[in-house]
Structure 1
Amino acid sequence: MPPARKRRRLDDTTRKEVSDLMSQMLQTMVPNIVEMVTQKLKGDMSHLPTEQGSPTNVCSLDVSQPPPDNNVVATVHQGEPSQQGTSSAATLPSQPLTSSTQDSTVPGTGSTHGQVSIGDPIRNIQNLKEVSQFLLDNALTVGTRNSYQRAKLAYEEFLEDHFPGTVTFPIDVEHLVLFISNCYQKGLAPQTVCTYLSALAHFSKMEGHVDPTQNFVIKRTIQGFQKLKSTADVRMPITPSILQKLVNSLHLCTSSFYEKCLFKAMFLLAFHAFLRIGEITSTTKSSTVLPLTAIQLEKSPNARPKEMILTLTNFKHHQGKPPVTFQITADTEKPETCAVLAMLDYLNVRGEEDGPLFMLRDQSPITRHMFNEQLKISLTFLGYDTKIYKGHSFRIGAASWAKSKGVSDDQIQLLGRWKSEAFRRYIRIPLLKL
């Protein structure tokens, strides 16, 4: 036999032996590999939550079945019981299992709708429910949520006293009319009752019920309430002359030089910047207070303060609104009532420590109660009625004073409404002589 033909026959024999050997190896190894991968997938799938949130085996892999189309993906079944008697959250078709399977992600589960990614916590239904609740909670400010909870509690207490055993929702229109009447007898203000109704409307719609406050009878009842309970605002404005007296009274109404500088700066800033007292004081332990970084003093070449830049991030209806930055020019002709010079004196005694802008020596923030108490002491010393002069009187007085100096009503409204986007086009406080 020629050498070439002999080599070809030997090569054919060798290839056949190698092929037989590889077939035997595959028959031995593949079942082991399939078993290992199956156990791995079952272990990973056992961590997926059921509808009750408890882990269970949610898939059954049958490797004896022929592989399906590669485009088939795991589909979530809601409320369908498992064929094997387990609470299955997903039915996974068997996939071709090879030694290249190294991760725990089922092929074809990369998209989001109706598919499960094994071991991915983002697909956890409980997690999504928590996120949705978080988003709903942040639709309202902390203050609004607290007010709404108080309103709900007031209505629940009314039901418990007059209709024991009655469920809160859905709200019965007759019960709500009687609740409004009960508030009228207690002497509550119309605005308080309107807040109560807003809260009950919110909770009703969140529960999926019809808003009872849109009922014609409810609207007419609250309209009569407002007509009978309407009262004029008795708060009087703090005029420039009263403001100067208040500042001068601090020499005699407080023995601390530090507190004299502190409250003088607060009085003058509240007036000149049309501020609410809650914007410069702390109302609760967790409330956001005006920080030291909110104030910047601009000085002229002779080192005298020229203007003060105030940045507010926490103000009424501030949620979703950008910070408001505006300027107050120094009044060098009348330094005793100049907010810029008063702020400079206070910062010199306060120091540069981080923390609240207005604080005591121990670095605790000035609360609304502290501010009102000092204002009450000064007003009493001067002989003014503390029932008609309040902390809001600074804001009322600033508006009246600006109007008397020729500032238009539109500009006054912009000065007083930090929530107005139009205010950002009018950020310089006009320098009007007191």
Structure 2
Amino acid sequence: MLRANTSCICIVGKMPKTPAKRKRLRARENNDVPGPSTEPDHHPLSSVVPMIDYAELARHMVQQQAIQGQAEQQLVTENNVQGSQPEAATPTMTSATVSGGTHSVGATNVLPGPHSVSPMDTPNISNVGSILDVVFSDSPVPSSIFGAVSHPGSGTFIADLTSATAHILTASLTQASRAAYRRSWDLFLNYKPVTNLPLQVSDVCNFIGHLFQSNLSASTISSHISALGYVHKLFNLPDPSQAFVVKKLLRGCHKLAGTVDSRLPITKDILAKLIAALSHTVAAKANCILLDALFKLCFHAFLRLGEVVSKSAGSSSLVVQRSNVAFQFEGSLLKSVQIVLHHFKNQKQNNPFVITLESSIDPTMCPVAALHRYLSHFKHSSGPLFQFIGGNPVTYSYVSTQLYAAATFAGLNPKLYKGHSFRIGAATYATSLGYSENLIKQLGRWNSNAFRRYIRIPAFNL
């Protein structure tokens, strides 16, 4: 260990001022050792630089750290055994009612800091299903639900929200986003039915593995984990989705799955082949008329399949409804159709989006004529736009199955043509016609330049 000593300090470039010092310096240069000086040294810095024992200082710091660690460990032990705070602390107690009982959480001033949450501060919430029903309902979230699970870990008490503030908070998510987040939680609860809040990091990690083995894409897995984290952030709970290992697992999913989009575009020519195949792959004529209109509409209107058919039984109200469709005529001539989207991805401030399609010169590919024919045959005036004769909503899985069968019959690789291929094909076809990027973004309701990866034009014919 080094020890500071003022006798070895000198200022480079200056000679000692006293004769005795100059004599000792010349003697040292001539290898001549003079006798001891009777004149004391008065170095300019000798009265400024103290004698510091760094070894002693290090031992003192280690000792203080050990004392502090023992005090913190004793505090945690006393809390776990006696359920009370030490007399030295003056905690503020907050009661949180959960599942008919009262859960007390204490704030202590022993371990300060905005993110220091002790085990006693973190509630264990068991009524997860009931909380999710309230959070992801269409009604404003009552402010009382926040008080049931809040804790003072970050110094912000979400239980203090007023009913007006809770209403604004509910409006921050669109209805489609709330439905998507709830589907993610349903997947997790199906994977692990018995669970409490906050979720364990290990459970979230294993859930990622489960989703990956279920052949879900890396981006879809990330979306599901983000939904889990949303509820934790909302209630000011420790968020397992932000754990280091969770982020590394999500990164691993992206690396293993790759980033290449294998879905091919359904272009106008391919759309014609698929429609021609429907008469051979669909047994019921009515369903053939239904799919003919659905395929043409998705292509010409840049629609996501999930915007017109529901993925689950509870989300049929989020797709295009029969009341959202209106035809325009000039006399007896069908001129156009207007479709109003109330729920779609990247929607801002719940503003609807109006799509107007003009009648095509080619009647075999006209989406307006196909949609009018479908509605004239099915004759329903309410509910989802696309529904079977019996009134049941058309599902995402049914359309995907019929698309697979039609692609197979047409001699195409069915694994490369998915529901999103209509939208990819629309962007590709519009680009080939010379549409500007701004117009394509507007037609497809893109908020960014993400649509560029959908444009698949391999070469020009010169």
Name the TM-score class by shorter chain: 0.5 to 0.7
The whole-number CA distance in structure 1 between the counterparts of 2:241 and 2:305 is 33
CA pair 313-178 structure 1, distance change in 2 beyond 3 A: closer
CA pair 418-298 structure 1, distance change in 2 beyond 3 A: farther
Q: 1:266 is matched with which residue?
A: 294
The answer as to 2:325 corresponding to 1:295 is yes
Q: Secondary structure at the match of 1:335?
A: coil
CA pair 366-188 structure 1, distance change in 2 beyond 3 A: closer
**Amino acid paired to 1:402:** A
User: Which of residues 412, 434, 441 in structure 2 aligns to 1:384?
Assistant: 412
The whole-number CA distance in structure 2 between the counterparts of 1:266 and 1:185 is 31
Contact 1:177–1:221, Cα closer than 8 Å, also in 2: no
Q: Deviations over 1:140-162 (max 9, x none)?
A: 412213314545876898xx9xx
Q: Deviations over 1:24-47 (max 9, x none)?
A: xxxxxxxxxxxxxxxxxxxxxxxx
Q: Report the TM-score, using the length of structure 2 for normalisation.
A: 0.53
Contact 1:236–1:389, Cα closer than 8 Å, also in 2: yes
Displacement of 1:356 in angstroms is 2.8
The answer as to 2:400 corresponding to 1:363 is no
CA pair 348-182 structure 1, distance change in 2 beyond 3 A: closer
The answer as to 2:176 corresponding to 1:146 is no
**Amino acid paired to 2:323:** T
Displacement of 1:185 in angstroms is 8.0
User: Which of residues 330, 333, 351 in structure 1 aligns to 2:379?
Assistant: 351
**Amino acid paired to 1:144:** Y
CA pair 169-385 structure 1, distance change in 2 beyond 3 A: same
Q: Deviations over 1:89-148 (max 9, x none)?
A: xxxxxxxxxxxxxxxxxxxxxxxxxxxxxxxxxxx9969969869756665412213314
The whole-number CA distance in structure 2 between the counterparts of 1:258 and 1:336 is 17
Displacement of 1:264 in angstroms is 0.9
**Amino acid paired to 2:354:** T
**Unaligned 5+ runs, structure 2:** 1-95, 99-141, 149-161, 449-462
Aligned pairs for 1:262-341 (under 5 A) are 262-287=290-315, 288=317, 289-301=319-331, 303-318=332-347, 320-332=349-361, 334-341=362-369
The whole-number CA distance in structure 2 between the counterparts of 1:304 and 1:387 is 40
User: Which of residues 424, 427, 445 in structure 2 aligns to 1:399?
Assistant: 427
The whole-number CA distance in structure 1 between the counterparts of 2:328 and 2:143 is 54
The whole-number CA distance in structure 2 between the counterparts of 1:359 and 1:196 is 28
**Amino acid paired to 2:219:** Q
Aligned pairs for 1:24-423 (under 5 A) are 135=167, 139-140=172-173, 141-148=178-185, 150-151=187-188, 169=198, 186=213, 189-209=217-237, 211=239, 222-223=250-251, 225-287=253-315, 288=317, 289-301=319-331, 303-318=332-347, 320-332=349-361, 334-351=362-379, 353-417=381-445
CA pair 156-241 structure 1, distance change in 2 beyond 3 A: same
Contact 1:313–1:323, Cα closer than 8 Å, also in 2: yes
The whole-number CA distance in structure 1 between the counterparts of 2:187 and 2:282 is 38
CA pair 314-192 structure 1, distance change in 2 beyond 3 A: closer
The whole-number CA distance in structure 2 between the counterparts of 1:296 and 1:185 is 42
Superposition RMSD in Å: 4.0
CA pair 129-377 structure 1, distance change in 2 beyond 3 A: same
The whole-number CA distance in structure 2 between the counterparts of 1:196 and 1:268 is 31
Q: Secondary structure at the match of 2:314?
A: coil
Q: Secondary structure at the match of 2:424?
A: helix
The whole-number CA distance in structure 1 between the counterparts of 2:339 and 2:355 is 6
Displacement of 1:385 in angstroms is 1.4
**Amino acid paired to 1:358:** F
Deviates more, 1:250-259 or 1:337-346: 250-259
The whole-number CA distance in structure 2 between the counterparts of 1:328 and 1:270 is 11
CA pair 126-184 structure 1, distance change in 2 beyond 3 A: closer
Contact 1:151–1:195, Cα closer than 8 Å, also in 2: no
Q: Report the TM-score, using the length of structure 1 for normalisation.
A: 0.56
**Amino acid paired to 2:181:** T
Aligned residues: 289
Q: 1:38 is matched with which residue?
A: none
Displacement of 1:231 in angstroms is 3.3
Q: Secondary structure at the match of 2:354?
A: strand
Q: 1:84 is matched with which residue?
A: none
Q: Secondary structure at the match of 1:336?
A: coil
